[in-house]
């Protein structure tokens, strides 16, 4: 693993491929549950939030822009050659607002749901991907979109909430 700029701590990932680049300011939690493929790039000041259970897997050739937040409490699987723009947020847990309704939402049980992003996807800057979403191969997510449900392969999605607006070529 190498870095540009000031360097990175010697984290003990479950697995770390050749040619991985972590830019300055990247924060990593629970590296023992993180798998990085070959030639993965993670931009400045991103937070890679592994969890004490489940796995965060980023496959070969994936590029993650600056100031991203990847959360893997429910499991997060990012395919090969995926582009993730600056400021993207990917979440795998949420408060269960239907249970224990007499309690403040902050203190209600947490639901965990994995996120899967297929090979060749591109997620535009500042998009948000919510728990339980699966994106097929080569899905283009427009900048600023909020992805609340799954989409099949080779589509372009945009909006809040994201909806299909065309075919990816």
* pTM for this model (two decimals): 0.92
Domain count, the chain: 1
How would you classify residue 100: left for phi > 0, otherwise alpha for psi between -120 and 50, otherwise beta? Answer: left
CATH at residue 47: 2.160.10.10
In a domain, 8, yes or no: no
Give domain status of residue 100, yes or no: yes
Q: pLDDT class for 52, splitting at 50, 70, 90?
A: confident
Active-site option among 4, 44, 95, 107: 95
95 as an active site residue: the answer is yes
- Determine if the peptide bond prior to 92 is cis (ω within 30°): no
Q: Look up the domain containing 148 and give its range.
A: 15-167
Please state, in angstroms and rounded to a whole number, the distance separating the CA atoms of residues 100 and 26: 36
Does the pLDDT at position 5 exceed 50?
Answer: no
Does 2 map to a domain? no
The answer to whether the bond into 7 is cis (omega within 30° of 0) is: no
């Amino acid at each position: 693993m190498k870095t540009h700029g000031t360097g990175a701590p010697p984290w003990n990932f479950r697995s770390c491929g050749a040619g991985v680049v972590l830019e300055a300011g990247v924060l990593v939690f629970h590296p023992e549950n993180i798998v990085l493929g070959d030639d993965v790039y993670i931009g400045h000041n991103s937070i890679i939030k592994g969890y004490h259970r489940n796995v965060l897997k980023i496959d070969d050739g994936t590029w993650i822009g600056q100031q991203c937040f990847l959360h893997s409490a429910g499991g997060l699987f990012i395919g090969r050659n995926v582009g993730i723009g600056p400021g993207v947020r990917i979440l795998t847990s949420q408060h269960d607002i239907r249970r224990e309704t007499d309690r403040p939402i902050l203190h209600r049980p947490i639901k965990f749901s994995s996120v899967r992003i297929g090979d060749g996807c591109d997620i535009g800057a500042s998009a948000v991907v919510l728990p339980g979403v699966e994106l097929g191969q080569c899905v283009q997510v427009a900048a600023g979109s909020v992805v609340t449900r799954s989409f099949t392969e080779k589509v372009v999605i945009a909006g809040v909430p994201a909806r299909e607006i065309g075919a990816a070529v």
